[in-house]
Amino acid sequence: MEIKTTQDALNFINSCDTFLFDCDGVLWNGSHVIPKSVELLSYLKSKGKRTVLVSNNSTSSRKGYLKKLEAMKFSVNEDDIFPSSYAAAYYLKEIEKLKPNDKVYVVGMGGIVDELELAGFETLGITDNVTEHTFSAANELLNKFDPNVKAVVVGFDLHMNYAKLARAFDQLNRNSDCKFIATNDDSTFPIQGGVLPGTGAWVAALKECSQKEPVITGKPSTHLFNALKKFYGLETDKTCMIGDRIDTDIAFGKNHGMKSLLVLTGISSRSSLENTPLKPDYHIESVTKLFELINT
Amino acid sequence: MEIKTTQDALNFINSCDTFLFDCDGVLWNGSHVIPKSVELLSYLKSKGKRTVLVSNNSTSSRKGYLKKLEAMKFSVNEDDIFPSSYAAAYYLKEIEKLKPNDKVYVVGMGGIVDELELAGFETLGITDNVTEHTFSAANELLNKFDPNVKAVVVGFDLHMNYAKLARAFDQLNRNSDCKFIATNDDSTFPIQGGVLPGTGAWVAALKECSQKEPVITGKPSTHLFNALKKFYGLETDKTCMIGDRIDTDIAFGKNHGMKSLLVLTGISSRSSLENTPLKPDYHIESVTKLFELINT
């Protein structure tokens, strides 16, 4: 249903005690804060609600998000943030029970490395970014195989190159126990004026050569749901996922028995809402509108 | 059947007038010439047979192959070589009828660029190799969209990076008429001591973000068969594909009514031969053995 009146908005908010927010396209677009998103989060907190920011963007750690959020004037704690960089580290530590000092090969950027190291793992891969000199002898790559690498994590990576792909592949290929984790598999993401390839592209490359399927720790995966449930003690039917993407955010909510609210300030439009079989429980133009309804 | 005797070998050779040879794993391994491969090709030529080298390796042009072959003492002409770099250019010119000066965006290496330029096309992409400075503003990528790019060709690329993926994607995404060509989609390839990711990995990345399927111009595709048939006027039932890979070489032969001979000096082993439903008409240890049988 569309949230249209103040009563709709209050009923919606009263029906839940935890709100999971997607970030880009919901609370902000790039560096532009969506009006009233700061106020909405403060309002919810003042009513004793829990708010958690759940993003598939793996380029930042929780600390990195915290900095960005503080600069945008959001009042949040590190525990209110659960990006897919952290989800990957959490999964390896809490579910796969990797040991401290186990090594992880990272195809991705600083956020993943930071979270993995905070979780006690040694990371490899980030120094393979430099590509002005490609390897001259393919054999060199094979000499870098490390049997202590217990997992390969793939996230968004602006610095992807053949050597990284080959090393990640080699670790998976020669060690059948090596875990294969993807922070998410979004095929694209929007930027102002267009669309760019998402993490899913590099994940597809590694799937193709390794012929293995990754565990995905971002939305809409059940691994993420289990992690959130454990971390926050969620009561599923009193939790709502608020997002702008039907195929990740709304699917995540609906597949796991949570409520879901679609906002139209990001990827999914009113027409995609009409044409999908995956209907959110609620939809509204924006968080701006939601706050304004409550505040009148 | 296994070619075991001199009579088997002579019968095999008499049954065909054209022999399509895969290269790596059949005639050479890396830089190591497989014994008697030079002699076998000379013998076939002396008997009035046509020999054509058909490789999925797109890193060299026909000229590049010629140089390598001459250094290895093979006696061949440019017309005897049909690598997937040339197959892509041939397809765009002869089948898709791209016009001279049409532009092609290349994710790949010099061989493809050389063949496309010889075919009269302008190429883009090769200068996007350098990645020591990644783009700071994603928007920059979108400003590089060129409506005159009529095709994107993906081949093996040691210098792949995010900017190239994004530009190739952008050309396909914003121009629904833009052709999407892959020289091949081999998921891996062998090197001494191991295996590395093949062209198929980067092809998979671009498929994932664009949600489009490429035309594949290498083995085992029908596009390649049609090109070879047209170029050489093949009589299908008097042509044999000789290769080391069941899933590309033998599939290529069998799917197009040609004979096929598997050698065991490359990817496919005797046990993979036993376990595949895709049985070659003939198999033999090596081209060495084939020449020795004939020559006794």
In the 8-state DSSP scheme, what is residue A8?
H
Q: How far apart are CA A29 and CA A101, in angstroms?
A: 37
pLDDT of A136 reads: 56
Answer yes or no: do A192 and B139 touch at CB < 8 A.
Answer: yes
ipTM of the shown complex = 0.93
Q: What are the two backbone dihedrals, phi and then psi, of residue B278, each rounded to the nearest 5 degrees?
A: -90, 80
Three-class SS state of A154: strand
Report the chain B residue with the minimal C-alpha distance to residue A163. Answer: B158
Select the residue from B135, B141, B196 to test the A interface by mutation, using most A Cβ atoms within 10 A.
B196
CATH topology for B6-54+220-294 is Rossmann fold (3.40.50)
Give the per-residue pLDDT at A126. Answer: 83
Task: Please return the burial class of B133, using the count of CB atoms within 10 Å of its CB with bins 0-12, 13-18 and 19+.
Answer: exposed
CATH superfamily placement of domain A103-216: HAD superfamily/HAD-like (3.40.50.1000)
Residue B22 catalytic? yes
The amino acid at residue B10 is: L
Chain B: nearest CA to A177, how far in angstroms?
18
Give yes or no on whether A6-54+222-294 and A103-216 have one common fold. yes
Judged by average pLDDT, the poorest of A133-147, A177-191, A231-245, B106-120 is A133-147
* Nearest CA-CA distance, residue A132 and chain B, Å: 6
Question: How many beta-carbon pairs under 8 angstroms link A with B?
Answer: 122
Strand (E) or helix (H) holding B79? none
Which of B8, B17, B22, B177 is catalytic? The answer is B22
Domain boundaries, chain B: 6-54+220-294, 87-216
Give the best residue of A173, A188, A209 to mutate against chain B (max B CB count within 10 A).
A209
Q: pLDDT, tens digit, for every residue of A128-145?
A: 765 544 555 666 788 899
Backbone CA torsion sign across A142, A144, A146, A150: negative
CATH 1.10.10.10 fits B87-216, yes or no: no
Question: Each residue of B72-97: b (16+ CB within 10 Å) or e?
Answer: eebebeeebbbbbbbbbbbbbbeeee
> Closest approach of chain B CAs to the CA of A4, in angstroms?
36
Measure the CA–CA gap between B148 and A60, rounded to whole angstroms: 37
* pLDDT per residue as tens digits for the range A2-26: 999 999 999 999 999 999 999 999 9
In angstroms, rounded to a whole number, what is the distance separating the alpha carbons of residues B217 and B153?
10
* pLDDT for B84 beyond 90: yes
Assess whether pLDDT exceeds 50 at residue A80.
Answer: yes
The pLDDT of A273-288, averaged and rounded, is: 96
Structure tokens, A102: 């186990």
**Counting beta carbons within 10 angstroms of the beta carbon of residue A285, is it exposed (0 to 12), middle (13 to 18) or buried (19 or more)?**
middle
| CATH 1.10.3720.10, domain A6-54+222-294, yes or no | no
Q: What is the mean pLDDT of chain A?
A: 94
Q: Name the binding residues of B.
A: 22, 24, 55-57, 219, 244
Which chain A residues are Cβ-neighbours of B162 within 8 angstroms?
157-160, 197
